[in-house]
Amino acid sequence: MFALVDCDNFFVSCERIFRPDLQNKPVVVLSGNDGCIIARSNEAKALGIAMAVPYFKVKSMSERGKVTLFSSNIMLYGDISRRVMSILQDAAPAMEVYSIDEAFLDFRGMPADFDLEAHLKSLVETVQRGIGIPISIGVAPTKTLAKLAANRAKKSTFSSSKVYIINSNRDSIREILKPTPIADVWGIGRKSQVLLRKNNIETCYDFVNRSAGWVKQAMGITGERTWRELRGEKAIDFVGESDGRQQISNSRTFSSEIYDFDILASSIANFITSCVTKLRAQNSTVGLLTVFIQTNRFKSNVEYNESRVHRFNVESDAITEIIPIATKLLKSMYRVGIGYKKGGVVFSSLADKSARQAVLFDTIDRDKQDTLMNVLDNLNSKFGNHTIISARKGFDALPIKRENLSRCYTTSWSDIIEVKC
DNA sequence: TCTGGGGTCCTAGGACCC
DNA sequence: TCTGGGGTCCTAGGACCC
């Protein structure tokens, strides 16, 4: 059996750890730049606040004191996530971290007398008491069914214990599928919903009763996989240890439109710096670099979305090499007089650094470059992240809008929580 | 006035090879 | 005159997820 552990309203729950007075009150968390809503407490959902709603639509509610807003505090959420995951890790033979607030646990091959339900109920307690984060757990023979089970675990109408189990036998799976709307299924997005509705498929039960051939023809092999998983047949693998990301990217919507090349170039350099940090942390090199800039997509006048790609002859992880290339790419698509609202970079074709091949006629001294990068890494880890940065990166070129930021309680000494006695 | 960011996987079509 | 076909790799774009 597989278990899916899901933290309830994760970002909101993180904020509540340090603001227990907000328990049972409407709370939302905003995206970067305070753009739109990315997490809601149950009370906020009950007020009718939808996901991804732009900030200005709820601003007045917060001013009237109806709902409490937070800017995202990603440092804090990442740290809390690591703590939760480390408890989960010890609770199962294998774990796959699926996102910042979700993980699959693999309980296949447990002895027949193992009481999984009791074990998971106590896990819910442990995480709540140890970290202060409420979690829900769904258990089923496939990952897709485990996702459905976790949704039920969250709802008190189905579960009072926050653990919901779907057994492997056919009839009990069938009972679950009958009333469940197909739109609730992991892997069925907007496009597929439209297609299925056109074919009179409303529930999971309608869906699994179609033939495999029909599903494959209409929805491709991903659709067929979902179909098999819903019938209780494992079609999506459990991925044990993750071997690092396939792709690393960084992008931002700017708080206002940018016309100036140097400011644009300095934010691109910022994106590169952040990607390189992640790249080096997983000991990879980048083979393909994409730089893109876009105008405001909510304005109907000129639309200008451009991207440029650079393929490295020798994969690189050196900021000193990548930033000038990115700047050149930017220069080739930049137009005077256009206001850019968003920009970003994508690193793909990542490779293992130790596997880098020496290339004849390589114009760069790789050993020297590595030495320099290592010095930079060491200085930055010793004295703080922005001690030494590339000149192009600049300082504070674009302050991010975060008007309702909570403190970095767990990752920054100056923000550590104070206790009044 | 104000509208997120970071990912994965799959597919179709072009280039190229023998 | 007659003008293949299969395999692989790459890339852009779509769909989906949290």
Q: Is residue A302 part of a domain?
A: yes
Decide if A48 contacts A67 (C-beta within 8 A). Answer: no
Asked whether residue A189, judged by its CB, lies under 7 Å from any atom of the DNA or RNA strand B, the reply is no
Q: Are A289 and A164 in a shared domain?
A: no
pLDDT at A399 over 70: no
Q: Are A283 and A358 in a shared domain?
A: yes
Check which CATH number belongs to the domain holding A345 and give it: 3.30.1490.100
pLDDT at A361 over 70: no
Helix axes A143-154, A170-177, angle to 10 degrees: 60
Q: Are A257 and A221 in a shared domain?
A: no
Q: Is residue A403 part of a domain?
A: no
Which residues are within 8 A (CB) of A257 and not within 5 positions of it... i.e. 6 or more apart? A295, A296, A339, A340, A341
pLDDT band with cut points at 50, 70 and 90 for residue A384: low
Gap from A316 CA to B8 C1', Å: 23
Q: Considering only residues 222-241 of protein chain A, which place a Cβ less than 7 A from any atom of strand C?
A: none
Domain count across chain A: 2
Q: Are A373 and A258 in a shared domain?
A: yes
* Strand ranges, E, within A8-117: 27-30, 37-40, 68-71, 94-99, 102-106
Which residue is closest to B2 in terms of CA–C1' distance? A56
A332 closest CA partner among A311, A307, A313, A312: A307
What is d(CA A30, CA A34) in angstroms, rounded to the nearest whole number? 5
Q: What percent of chain A has pLDDT over 70?
A: 91
pLDDT digits (tens, 9 = 90+) for A236-261: 999 876 667 889 999 999 988 999 99
Helices (H), A251-338: 261-281, 319-333
Q: Are A226 and A269 in a shared domain?
A: no
Decide if A220 contacts A227 (C-beta within 8 A). Answer: no
pLDDT: which is higher, A152 or A405: A152
Instruction: Name the residue range of residue A315's domain.
Output: 244-383
What is d(CA A249, CA A260) in angstroms, rounded to the nearest whole number? 23
Decide if A350 contacts A242 (C-beta within 8 A). Answer: no
What is d(CA A279, CA A285) in angstroms, rounded to the nearest whole number? 7
pLDDT band with cut points at 50, 70 and 90 for residue A358: low
Gap from A190 CA to B16 C1', Å: 38
Q: Is residue A222 part of a domain?
A: yes
pLDDT at A395 over 50: no
Q: What is the pTM of this model?
A: 0.90
Q: Please, what is the Cα angle at A198 between A196 and A202, to 5 degrees?
A: 50
Gap from A330 CA to C6 C1', Å: 41
Q: Is residue A314 part of a domain?
A: yes
Listing from the earlier edge strand, what are the strands of the sheet with A27-30? A37-40, A27-30, A68-71
A235 C-beta neighbours (distance < 10 Å), count = 17
Asked whether residue A193, judged by its CB, lies under 7 Å from any atom of the DNA or RNA strand C, the reply is yes
Q: Are A225 and A248 in a shared domain?
A: no
Asked whether residue A220, judged by its CB, lies under 7 Å from any atom of the DNA or RNA strand B, the reply is yes
Q: Are A168 and A267 in a shared domain?
A: no
**Residue-level pLDDT at A242:** 62
Helix axes A116-130, A74-89, angle to 10 degrees: 140
What is d(CA A135, CA A119) in angstroms, rounded to the nearest whole number? 14
Q: Please, what is the Cα angle at A10 between A147 and A115, to 5 degrees?
A: 50
**What positions of strand C are covered by protein, i.e. any atom < 7 Å from a CB?**
11-12, 14-18
pLDDT digits (tens, 9 = 90+) for A1-50: 999 999 999 999 999 999 999 999 999 999 988 999 999 999 999 999 99
Q: Are A261 and A304 in a shared domain?
A: yes
Q: Are A204 and A326 in a shared domain?
A: no
Q: Are A283 and A344 in a shared domain?
A: yes
Gap from A332 CA to C8 C1', Å: 32
Q: Is residue A265 part of a domain?
A: yes
Q: Are A269 and A321 in a shared domain?
A: yes
pLDDT at A321 over 50: yes
**Residue-level pLDDT at A380:** 63
Q: Is residue A324 part of a domain?
A: yes
